[in-house]
């Protein structure tokens, strides 16, 4: 770290739980953010600002007017642009020292390879099919998965390490059958609820890399933004899960 780095990250370095070593660990880390929408927008900005050295952002979508209400990394002038290009420009404007890799063609064929390049994965997608595939890749590559979901006034957050004994994976929590895809296109979402969960996802990713505090492994945090209530429930490993019982 040079003098500019020490100054840029000084308010983090001053924390005894982070320090120079912790900041260096962040600078040396690679995070894969899948989806630069309502969840990925705040997490991408905070992780760039916090000095995560390499951020890989994946999204095939382009910015639409109806995204702007909650996907705050994208601005009105970005409508029609690829979300990853729009996001990369803002992230580099916040912090030109981080490396940003954009991926527009993430699919089943290259997912494992991208996960393999990453120390941790943040899932900010909004459908079960994609979430199951990301979970499978993370279990196979032994990579922690920070999973968040938002709809209406509700949020959920957890960290999955299904590759560890007794630790559940995402599919231990949700079976493939019988899940109706609910998304905010059909059900709506209050903008700051996405902001809350996106920033909490970034927080958990940093905490896992630095091994700090409550990591939410084997726990699901359920947030009701109307009550402003937070509760944690335990998630057990499903002994019949076909993904994490190898
Ligand atoms: Zn499982």
Domain boundaries, the chain: 3-234
User: Residue 216: which pLDDT band, with cuts at 50, 70 and 90?
Assistant: very high
Averaged pLDDT, 17-31: 98
Domain 3-234, CATH among 3.30.70.260, 3.40.50.720, 3.30.830.10, 1.50.10.20: 3.40.50.720
User: Residue 181: which pLDDT band, with cuts at 50, 70 and 90?
Assistant: low
The residues whose Cβ lies within 5 A of ligand 1, an ion, are 162, 169, 171-172, 241, 243-244
Convert the pLDDT of each residue in 33-76 to its tens digit.
999 999 999 999 999 999 999 999 999 999 999 999 999 999 99
With a pLDDT cut of 90, the percent of the chain lying above it is: 92
Among the listed residues 166, 71, 165, the one whose alpha carbon sits nearest the alpha carbon of residue 124 = 71
How far away, in angstroms, is 168 Cα from ligand 1 center? 5
Q: Which residue has the higher pLDDT, 178 or 27?
A: 27
Q: pTM of the entire structure?
A: 0.96
How far away, in angstroms, is 123 Cα from ligand 1 center? 16
User: Residue 160: which pLDDT band, with cuts at 50, 70 and 90?
Assistant: very high
Distance (Å, rounded) from C-alpha 123 to C-alpha 58? 10
How far away, in angstroms, is 239 Cα from ligand 1 center? 8
> What is the pLDDT, as a whole number, of residue 26?
98
158 pLDDT exceeds 80? yes
How far away, in angstroms, is 135 Cα from ligand 1 center? 9
Q: Which residue has the higher pLDDT, 3 or 176?
A: 3
> What is the pLDDT, as a whole number, of residue 224?
98
Averaged pLDDT, 79-99: 98
Contact predicate 143/121, CB 8 Å? yes
User: Residue 2: which pLDDT band, with cuts at 50, 70 and 90?
Assistant: very high
């Amino acid at each position: 770290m040079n003098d500019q780095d020490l100054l840029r990250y000084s308010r983090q370095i001053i924390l005894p739980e982070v320090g120079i070593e912790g900041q260096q660990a962040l600078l040396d880390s690679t995070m894969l953010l899948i989806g630069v929408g309502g969840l990925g927008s705040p997490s991408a900005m905070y992780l760039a600002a916090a000095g995560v050295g390499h951020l890989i952002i994946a999204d095939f979508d382009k910015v639409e007017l109806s995204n702007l209400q909650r996907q705050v990394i994208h601005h009105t002038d970005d409508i029609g642009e690829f979300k990853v290009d729009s996001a990369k420009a803002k992230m580099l404007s916040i912090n030109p020292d981080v490396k940003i890799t954009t991926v527009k063609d993430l699919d089943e064929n290259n997912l494992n390879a991208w996960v393999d390049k990453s120390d941790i994965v943040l899932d900010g997608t909004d459908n079960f099919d994609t979430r199951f595939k990301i979970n499978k890749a993370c279990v196979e590559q032994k990579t922690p998965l920070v999973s968040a979901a938002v709809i209406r006034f509700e949020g959920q957050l957890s960290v999955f390490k299904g590759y560890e004994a007794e630790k559940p994976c995402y599919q231990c929590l949700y079976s493939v059958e019988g899940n109706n895809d609910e998304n905010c296109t059909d059900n709506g979402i209050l903008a700051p609820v996405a902001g809350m969960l996106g920033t909490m996802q970034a927080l958990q990713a940093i905490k896992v890399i630095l091994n700090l505090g409550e990591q939410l492994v084997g726990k699901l945090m359920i947030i009701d933004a109307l009550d402003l209530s937070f509760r944690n429930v335990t998630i057990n490993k499903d002994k019949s899960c076909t993904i994490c019982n190898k």
